[in-house]
Amino acid sequence: MIRPVVYVPADLDLVLRLEVSRFRETMGAEPEQTLEKMWETFGNSSAQSQNSKWLVPALKSTDTLWRGGRLGMKGCKDFVFVLRGRFASAREGYGLRPETNKRDLGAGWFSYDFAPRGRSVAARLYWRPPELAVVVSSAEIDSAERSVEHSQDTTRLEPSETGLMSLSARSKALAQVLRERSPKAADWLSKSERIELRFEPSAKV
Look up the pTM and report it.
Answer: 0.84
pLDDT for residue 132: 93
N- to C-terminal Cα separation, the chain: 36
Beta bridge pairs of residue 110: 104, 127
pLDDT for residue 149: 92
pLDDT for residue 148: 92
C-alpha span between 163 and 170 (Å, rounded): 20
pLDDT digits (tens, 9 = 90+) for 11-44: 999 999 999 888 877 766 565 666 666 555 444 4
> 165-170 and 14-19: which strand pairing?
antiparallel
Residue 191, phi-psi category: left (phi > 0), alpha (psi -120 to 50), beta (remainder): alpha
Instruction: Report residue 151's pLDDT band, with 50, 70 and 90 as the boundaries.
Output: confident
